[in-house]
Amino acid sequence: MHIRTPLDLGLIIRDRRRKLGLSQSELAEKAGVGRQWLVAVEHGKARAEIGLVLRTLTALGLTLSVDGEDRDRKAGKHDDIAPVDIDAVVSSLKGDDR
């Protein structure tokens, strides 16, 4: 699943908590966070401390991974394109023998 906003992450946390049959209080205790903090995160709190978010994900049996492959592909970056020697290109256009 792609997470692009704090709300996306909050919804994932809430959905997983519900699937596990945990109340907000139970998850907060298990993760070592406050229930009000958890409520705010589930509603998309933008400035949630990353360490607490990671503890919450761990308590839910979830992990966080980051993948830049899609972004590179959309930006037109390709690993299979060989680098170009600009000096050789300029020399060939000038007719220089190197």
In a domain, 14, yes or no: yes
Closest by Cα among 7, 8, 28 to 17: 28
- Reduced to 3 states, what is the DSSP secondary structure of residue 84? coil
Give the residues of the chain that fall short of pLDDT 50.
98
In a domain, 85, yes or no: no
Q: What is the CATH number of the domain that holds 24?
A: 1.10.260.40
**CA–CA dist 46, 1 (Å, integer):** 19
Summarised one tens digit per residue, pLDDT across range 45-69 is: 999 999 999 999 999 999 998 888 7
Q: What domain range includes position 25?
A: 1-67
pLDDT score of 98: 47
pLDDT score of 34: 98
**CA–CA dist 51, 47 (Å, integer):** 12
pLDDT score of 82: 73
Number of structural domains in the chain: 1
In a domain, 4, yes or no: yes
In a domain, 98, yes or no: no
In a domain, 15, yes or no: yes
**CA–CA dist 42, 10 (Å, integer):** 4
**CA–CA dist 57, 28 (Å, integer):** 11
